[in-house]
Copies of this chain bind each other. A is one copy, B any other.
Amino acid sequence: MGIGEFARQVKDASIALAAMGADEKNRALEQVARAMIERQGEIIKANQADLIRSKGENLPEPLMKRLKFDETKIADVVDGIYSLVGLEDPVGRTIFATELDDGLELYKTTCPIGVIGVIFESRPDALVQISTLCLKSGNGVLLKGGSEAMETNRILADVIIKATEEAGVPANWLKLLETRAQVGEMLKMDEYIDLIIPRGSNEFVRHIMDNSRIPVMGHADGICHCYVDEDADPDMAVNIVVDSKTQYVAVCNAAETLLVHEKAAAGFLPVLKEALDQKQVAIAGCPRTREIIPAEPATEEDWKTEYLDYKLSIKVVDNVDEAISHINRYGSGHTDSIITASKDRAARFMALVDSGNVFWNCSTRFSDGFRYGLGAEVGISTSKIHARGPVGLEGLVIYKYRLIGNGQTVSEYASRTKTFKHKKLDKQFPL
């Protein structure tokens, strides 16, 4: 069957799915959780096949680790499903209500986006996480996972499809794609697919963005900064910079560049260097940095680089405004933190740094859906519309306007026979 037909079927199913109540969706989620446990033997067996084949194909060790989907991982995704059940339904909320005139009531209410296309790399748990998020938010989904996890993904999709259909979710709400060619076709299906969420490397996300008319939610880069201001507490600054850089280097919210006020540099950089040496962090420094501590010379390229590794670029700046300009020029709009005792400069930094997450006196590593208390994370977005920063369930819904009248026509208002009241109503959509 062609992808066009697949996508059309998912679109059709998504219409009915959009109208499902919170309880029905939660029952379906619980059914998925139970089926994961019941069928865990099959899942682990399929994953073993993927692991053996991938080992034969010399898949690098970190990817082998991500591919592994054992009892512990299954228990984790099942826990995730139960916590998703506990979250409030993001669909059907009344954002506002207005009485336009007597008997003419407008309701702005949340609803699912429609059909989401998700493309993810090796981790099979992403399949479970994304599809349950889509179900909770009432969206149909087309999924494409990494080919190294083919057998695992196939059985996981089968578990989810069977369990949800048993629980009364419209058939065809979820489809698994298995080839690269199908992804290419999917990117052209703007008639049926409303949003693409790519999860993977920068290059991969950029490729998707360049090859589809469908809106894309994701982030291409995570070039995050710490700025240590002139009056920063030195101990606090060292702790925050070390945590931002080294707590987990391979993630998008790890810091890549440190900016230091010139008045703080001489005192702060040697102490920081000692702490970074303990974590074996390499340093690329600007000329003023290299007058204070040993470092390889930083090039223009360093300010634009997401190392995702034990390496930090350091630049000494004249003041907070130079720090802000540097971040807005070279940053990726992800997460940036100022360490300062000055409330005014913190306010200025948080107002003028054009990033999804702007922090004062804490680590860049906090920008994360779980840490923010959003419950579950669809991903982190660096786009400027729809959803920005860590995106929870609310990033998978949009709204529609529902207007209830009793025969009103616009002619009556155009001719001034009637006039609008526009009175705020404090009530929920009643149907």
Contacts and interface: CB of A to CB of B under 8 A. Distances in A.
A98 B386 contact: no
A361 B405 contact: yes
Interface residues of A, number: 76
Given A213-B209, A247-B411, A384-B398, A405 B18 contact: no
A44 interface: no
Nearest to A109: B350
A330 interface: no
Contacts of A390: 401
Contacts of A90: none
Chain A at the B interface: mostly helix, strand, loop or mixed? mixed
Contact of A399 (B242, B372, B388, B402): B388
Interface stretch (A79-87, A232-240, A262-270, A293-301): A232-240
Contacts of A385: 113, 194-195, 215, 217, 385-386, 398
Residue from the set A352, A399, A408 with the largest chain B CB neighbour count within 10 Å: A408
A124 interface: no
Nearest to A424: B373
A37 B414 CA distance: 27
A363 B398 contact: no
Residue from the set A215, A328, A405, A410 with the largest chain B CB neighbour count within 10 Å: A410
Interface string A260-281: 0000000000000000000000
A239 B407 contact: yes
A277 B422 CA distance: 35
A257 interface: no
A354 interface: yes
Contacts of A409: 239-240, 242-243, 247, 362-363, 365
Given A195-B384, A358-B401, A371-B410, 17 more contacts: A19-B348, A100-B371, A104-B366, A194-B385, A210-B213, A215-B385, A217-B385, A236-B407, A243-B409, A243-B410, A358-B402, A358-B403, A360-B403, A360-B404, A362-B407, A386-B398, A389-B399
11 contacts: A18-B351, A19-B348, A236-B407, A247-B410, A343-B431, A357-B401, A361-B407, A366-B410, A372-B401, A385-B385, A385-B398
